[in-house]
Chain A
Amino acid sequence: MTAYIVRRLLQMIPTMLGVVLLLFVLFNWVGGDPAYILAGKISSEAQIANIRHQLGVDRPAYVQIGIFLKQIVTADFGASWSTNEPVSDILKTRLGPSLTVLVPLLVLGTLLAIALSLVVARFRRTLTDRMVMVACTVGMSISILVYIIVFQYVFAFRLGWFPVQGWGDSLWTNLATYAALPILIGLCVGLAPDLRLFRSFMLDEIEQDYVRTARAKGLSETRILWVHVLRNASIPIVTYVMAALPGLLVGAFLIERFFSIPGIGREVLLAVERSDFPVIKAITVYVAVATMFANLAADLIYKAVDPRVELK
């Protein structure tokens, strides 16, 4: 196990180098020249050159890549080009609001989708099953923008159950007041595809011989579903959930924009608009690292869930 983990950790190095190169090339190719954004309304060639010099984008590519690698190793990405705020502060302050919305959303969404998928699987190929699937298809066909606009108008403005927008200082206030409607919207948007996917995982397992054997031995349907089927179906579910984890670092920019949540999603969007490379670099690197570690964690969880899985 230890050797496996060490091997996987070493494999992350070339992957990260690939990320660095790709990001650097993409930024310089399509990222826009930040000097022209920072220069303001009127600028001369000399001013543009000065800004490029201050930002270090006039240095040779290999020097810039070297600095980038050093930043990854030291986890210090400097300061934002547009606001001068240290990138570490940006991540620290914006990640909290995003996680306040996305962690409960991920947990609740996954538990709900698992529970409902087991129920639907129990009634597979019945009218209930078909109706739920049709409802899911309809739900998935509606854009998240529609959910946001309608829910904000109805539940926040008309009924006044939630604030229209805003964000507070305490976790409890945010969770109970400001994050509640965004989480509800996220659940409505995410439940349909998750339910369809998890249902297919469950159905794959229900057709297996061991389920027939369990039934022959007289086990209740509840026990078969919640213990045997769920355990075996959990491998693809774990894969799916683990793949979603790095997304927490990117936030949900649309929800954050509409509800004025100072999260990382809005920051990413701003950074792209402003060609703010230090912020883009840091977030990309962290997402890449998180993705690699999530994949590693998923593999280790497979082993824990199903001892037949071998880690090579």
Chain B
Amino acid sequence: MRLVRLTGSAVWYPVLWAILWGALSCFSNAALSQPAKTEPRKTIRLAFPAAETGFDPPRVSDYYSNTVNEAIFERLLTYDYLARPARLAPMTAETLPEVTDGGKTYTFKIRSGIQFHPEPAFGGKPRELTAADYVYSFKRILDPKVRSPWAFMIEGKIIGLDALAATEKQTGKYDYDTDVEGLRALDRYTLQIRLLEPDYNFNYIAAHTPFSAVAREVVEKYGNDTMAHPVGTGPYVLKQWTRGARIVLEKNPEYRGMAWDFAVSEDVDAELVRIMQGKRLPLIDRVEISIIEEEQSSWLAFKRNELDFSGVGSFRSEVFDEKGEMRPAWREQGVKAIRAIDPELTYTFFNFRDPTVGGFEKEKLALRRAIIMAYNREEEIEVIRKGQAVLATMPIPVGVVGHDPRYKPLNTYNPALANKLLDSFGFKRGKNGFRTMPDGSPLLLKYATGTTSLDRQFNELWKKAMDVIGVRIEFQPGKFSDNLKAAKACQLQMWGSAWIADYPDGDNFVQLLYGPNTGQSNNGCYESKAFDALYEASRKLPDSPERNHLFLEMTRQMEVDGAWVLGVSRERNTLIRPWVLGYKKHPVMNATWIYLDIDPAKAP
């Protein structure tokens, strides 16, 4: 009898426990959901799908750390919020720089009175931003101890700066006090940068987040722990940070402020301008960022109003119907969908030093172009990208200076023509249906890949495409770092890559095909004299129709050579709650919270 009672309680215990805990957590949730009296009124809540690494601008290369840095630190230049294509605008500089000496000398006038956020390293005194801070910050990029992943952007460009880095190798000391001829503060507010060669894209570098101003006192105080102590002049400060879980930013009380003052660039801007024009920024008091790695978790959090922004990802059909229209349930909630094509490109490169697919012989050109024509990118967009991408037609994606929507690509999807091309160049089919090389040796493609389910989906698509033209393909899975190492050593035959714009100019993309960049960014080891000559000519020109024409010629050349299987540019669908005002997706800037407002009447 006692045992029977025991059985009953044992069975019911977990149920009772779950109910008790459920009730307790409901109570706790209810208690938590009551806004605390001290909580700022205007709060933006969003999620990052991957963990940040830290908040020291030159040290980090991941998208999410850079996004936060963008809100805390300031560059000399920034972008106009509404202008498309993206247009540079002054940030801490008074105006765009004076460019002299045929594009070799840049002179920036920095606004006076910009203050760093108060920090003990300043000894309790206000600390004004000066030209010397940018001299220091630019020097830091090449400091070997900083290991900046952005060194490539100024390496070999500024007179005397590489010599400073070289001295470190001999002496072990990177002396920040050494005068660098090409990097000088002419006075408290004047910064002069002198380049070895003309570079009309240098303004983009000055607008890039890793080149933000940091204070030397702060860096020296925190040493290796600068990632956790970001001190900038930007509109937000880091208030709370639980690594890999939660980042909270709050309005910087020392920030000088600015007025929302942008001109209409596209039709959709008129409404934004009507709502926001003239407002004093920043209006958002607090930005709460949760790191939510799983798509389902962030999607459910958005649906429960725990987030103000969300991507759509694999839940696209839940939001949009077959025609791409938002479903009524979402419209009724007032949710807005912002669609934008990212300034990025996916591509698969061929290794030009590979004995099977490399080289410039006619049969190799035919083989590569047949492979390009056999791969079905439309299917990739439909099946893998869930309709959220557009075909890339040039190595310069949509929205980037140099892209020409009128350009007609040469190697479009055409498996029948691909088969004919291979037949005519002697790639004969064997009894098993697979082709051999013209000399009779086996033809086997070796495609480097990763180990995720997404990689497997791509592999299936590639296998299907190659079967149609009778080309045997095998997939060689590896870790990303191993594949990258092999690619840089010209040891991978084929590999799929992606490139997102560091700055919205075609140069940032076509440099991936420039011969001397082999071993750095040109992972296909494509070394075409014709292409290189065109690229070098383009480097000497500012943004102009003449330079755009060179971009088109480069595109045609890489297509004729079959350098890449051009992929897609991904479409980013952002859903925003109705109380968020003033949002427009910017192709380069990510931390655009400073330009937003919250409508308290609609907010929950």
Contact = CB atoms under 8 A, between A and B. Distances in A.
Contacts of B291: 260
Interface in B74-111: none
Contacts of A181: 25
A39 interface: yes
A43 B10 contact: no
Nearest to B228: A85
Contacts of B24: 176, 180
A176 B243 CA distance: 22
Name the prevailing secondary structure of the B interface residues: helix
Given A36-B484, A37-B481, A153-B300, A122 B3 contact: yes
A165 B292 contact: yes
Among A83, A257, A275, find the residue whose CB has the most chain B CB atoms closer than 10 A.
A83
Contacts of A54: 144-145, 147
A41 B153 CA distance: 10
Nearest to A183: B21
A164 B51 CA distance: 18
Interface string A186-219: 0100010000000000000000000000000000
B145 A262 contact: no
Given A42-B520, A54-B145, A157-B300, A165 B290 contact: yes
Contact of A165 (B2, B301, B479, B499): B301
B242 A167 contact: yes
B293 A83 contact: no
Given A44-B519, A83-B227, A258 B294 contact: yes
A84 B520 contact: no
Nearest to B293: A257
Contacts of A267: 244
The 10 closest A-B pairs by CB, nearest first: A40-B149, A262-B245, A32-B481, A42-B152, A40-B61, A32-B479, A42-B521, A36-B481, A177-B28, A161-B22
Contacts of A149: 296
A221 interface: yes
B485 interface: yes
A173 interface: yes
Interface residues of B, number: 68
A47 B151 contact: yes
A177 B297 contact: no
B297 A33 contact: no
A220 B520 CA distance: 79
Interface string A21-38: 000000000101110111
A305 interface: no
Contacts of A84: 54, 59, 224-227
A231 B150 CA distance: 64
A64 interface: no
A187 B300 contact: no
B10 A115 contact: yes
Given A36-B485, A173-B32, 10 more contacts: A40-B150, A51-B147, A54-B145, A157-B300, A157-B304, A164-B297, A180-B25, A258-B296, A267-B244, A275-B481
A259 interface: yes
A93 interface: yes
A50 B28 contact: no
Contacts of A311: none
Given A112-B14, A156-B300, A260-B245, A44 B152 contact: yes
A177 B29 contact: yes
A115 B301 CA distance: 37
B243 A85 contact: yes
A156 B296 CA distance: 12
Interface in A102-147: 108, 112, 115-116, 119, 122
B590 interface: no
Interface of B: 2-3, 6-7, 10-11, 13-14, 17-18, 21-22, 24-26, 28-29, 32, 51, 53-54, 59, 61, 144-145, 147-152, 155, 224-228, 242-246, 290-294, 296-298, 300-301, 303-304, 306, 479-482, 484-485, 488, 499, 502, 517, 519-521
A132 to B, nearest CB: 10
A83 B26 contact: no
Given A85-B227, A222-B3, A34 B481 contact: yes
Contacts of B10: 112, 115-116, 119
Contact of A93 (B59, B243, B298, B517): B243
A310 interface: no
Among A30, A42, A177, find the residue whose CB has the most chain B CB atoms closer than 10 A.
A42
B147 A221 contact: no
Contacts of B244: 262, 266-267, 270
Interface in A155-189: 155-157, 160-168, 173, 176-177, 180-181, 184, 187
B54 A79 contact: no
A183 to B, nearest CB: 8
Given A41-B149, A43-B520, A152-B297, A164 B306 contact: yes
Interface string A222-235: 10010000000000
A291 interface: no
Contacts of A167: 242, 245-246
A165 B293 CA distance: 11
A88 interface: no
A284 interface: no
Nearest to B148: A40
Contacts of A295: none
Contacts of A93: 242-243
